[in-house]
Amino acid sequence: MGHKETMTPRERVLKALNHEIPDRVPIDLGGFQTGIHQRAYENLLVFLGIEDNITILDPVQQLAVPCEDILQRFRVDTRYICAHGPDSFKGTIEKNIRDGRLWHDLKDEFGVIWSMPDDQRLYMDISHHPLRDATIEDIADYPFPEGNDPTRFTDVREHALKMRHETPYALCTCIGGVVYEICWYMRGLEQWFVDMITQPAFCEALLDSMLRFWMDFYAGFMAEVGDLIDVVMVGDDLAGQSGPLFSPTFYRKIVKPRQKILIQHIKSLTDAKIWYHTCGSCYEYINDFIDNGVDILNPVQIGIINMEPQKLKNEFGGRIVFWGGGIDAQHILPFAEPTEIKKHVRKNLEHFKPGGGYVFNCVHNIQYGIPPENIVAMFDTAYEFGFYE
């Protein structure tokens, strides 16, 4: 390839995050929004001749934890540090028969039940919204979990210290700070959209409960790892294929101020960069994210309206880092031949990489059905053409 690395992975990532030019574009794989579906991972292992006892990172999305051999193979520059549920939360998956079909059911800490049919085993969808019929008075009495329960953070600092002292990688947290989305998980999306119009006070009360949880969570989490990590990952999906999912006026009046409080709170506890995730055409909100204190945008869903790589880089490239956007994951990655994958990735790199401020990843998680040869072509091209002259 004719290129030589001159930086450690962490140095490379920090350069990119500071809008400086590293030796090459950093590469990421393995997070909750930058990961790989377990069945795609199984096929990839076979294709590469690598063995792994697969561990599930996220049962809802059915994501696998990539093994070190895979991360090394794709020259991944990041590793992940995660808190976990408190000792009081078991998080076990129950198997239940409904309508003659076997289901895998998971009740999360907020009382939301996620379900997946055994004969499909692709993803979990919500089957129970605990606040579906609630009133605003019910919110005050609801048993929300304690964000700062110290048992969430057992052994987390020890693991982070080991990763910082014994490996060269940039350290990222797992996703958190989900102030908005959990509200509709608990309420139901249709009812929540009705609430936003007919009873915004209900929405504010529930959002405030979520904000308190995450404020407490990050106070505890950053006390353990705030001095060791490089990136804090938070997010709420705000957009769809054609733009915002709900009124930007509601976002800016009701949701944004609470997100800003949380982001500024996290920034007061750590020097790590703040990474914000929203799917969809979020062009409308990028200036709002920057105003909130967001440093990094993910997943950069190219291929839809107003999310063209060159447009984004030209308008925002000096003010926010793009993390993702490596390939059109809906139309190109699943269906193209590896030669077309290579051309597509190279073109996107040409748009995103100038001046730093870019970390390579697919647009969101690598889904089941993606040919393993396409995954290899994507990451190998990102490495080959990611070097700066």
Amino acid at 131: L
Average of pLDDT values for 329-356?
A: 96
pLDDT of 325 over the 80 cut = yes
**pTM flag (> 0.85):** yes
Query: Facing residues of 244 across strands?
Result: 239
Number of domains in the chain: 1
pLDDT of 212 over the 80 cut = yes
Average of pLDDT values for 201-213?
A: 98
Distance CA 278, CA 237 (A): 4
Whether residue 333 lies inside any domain: the answer is: yes
Q: Using DSSP, state whether 275 is helix, strand or coil.
A: strand
pLDDT of 360 over the 60 cut = yes
CA distances from 74 to 27, 128, 380 (A): 8, 39, 7
pLDDT score at 84: 94
Whether residue 380 lies inside any domain: the answer is: yes
- Whether the ω angle into residue 130 lies within 30 degrees of 0, i.e. cis, is no
Average of pLDDT values for 102-118?
A: 97
Cβ neighbours of residue 26 under 8 Å, at least 6 residues apart? Answer: 9, 12, 13, 16, 77, 78, 170, 359, 360
Angle between helices 200-225 and 156-166 (to 10 degrees): 60
pLDDT score at 218: 98
Whether residue 46 lies inside any domain: the answer is: yes
Average of pLDDT values for 88-94?
A: 92
pLDDT of 389 over the 90 cut = no
Give the residue among 248, 269, 77, 106 at the shortest CA–CA distance from 176. Answer: 269
Amino acid at 16: A
Tokens found for residue 266: 């996290």
Distance CA 260, CA 262 (A): 5
265-281 per-position pLDDT tens digit = 999 999 999 999 999 99
332-342 per-position pLDDT tens digit = 999 999 999 99
Q: Which domain holds residue 357?
A: 9-86+135-384
Tell me if 136 sits within 8 A of 207, measured CB to CB. no
Average of pLDDT values for 9-27?
A: 98
233-289 per-position pLDDT tens digit = 999 999 999 999 999 999 999 999 999 999 999 999 999 999 999 999 999 999 999
Whether residue 120 lies inside any domain: the answer is: no
Instruction: Provide the strand spans (E) within the chain.
Output: 36-37, 56-58, 63-64, 78-81, 93-98, 101-107, 113-117, 125-128, 170-173, 231-235, 239-240, 243-244, 273-277, 296-298, 321-323, 358-359
Distance CA 244, CA 237 (A): 9
Strands 101-107 and 93-98: antiparallel
Average of pLDDT values for 354-373?
A: 96
In the sheet with 63-64, reading across from the earlier edge strand, the strands are 36-37, 63-64, 56-58
pLDDT score at 197: 97
Distance CA 173, CA 33 (A): 12
Rounded to 5 degrees, what angle do the CA atoms 357, 363, 368 make? 150
pLDDT of 368 over the 60 cut = yes
pLDDT score at 315: 97
Q: What is the CATH number of the domain that holds 63?
A: 3.20.20.210
DSSP state of 246: S
Whether residue 257 lies inside any domain: the answer is: yes
DSSP 3-state helix, strand, coil percentages of the chain (rounded to 5)? Answer: 40, 15, 45
DSSP state of 324: -
pLDDT of 1 over the 70 cut = no
Residue 128, phi-psi category: left (phi > 0), alpha (psi -120 to 50), beta (remainder):
beta
pLDDT score at 6: 97
DSSP state of 61: T
Whether residue 102 lies inside any domain: the answer is: no
H or E element at residue 42: helix 38-48
pLDDT score at 371: 97
Sequence length of the chain is 389
Whether residue 329 lies inside any domain: the answer is: yes
Average of pLDDT values for 357-375?
A: 97
Tell me if 170 sits within 8 A of 76, measured CB to CB. no
Q: Which residue has the tokens 């193209």?
A: 336
Whether residue 337 lies inside any domain: the answer is: yes
pLDDT score at 3: 85
Output Rg (C-alpha) for the chain, integer angstroms.
Answer: 21
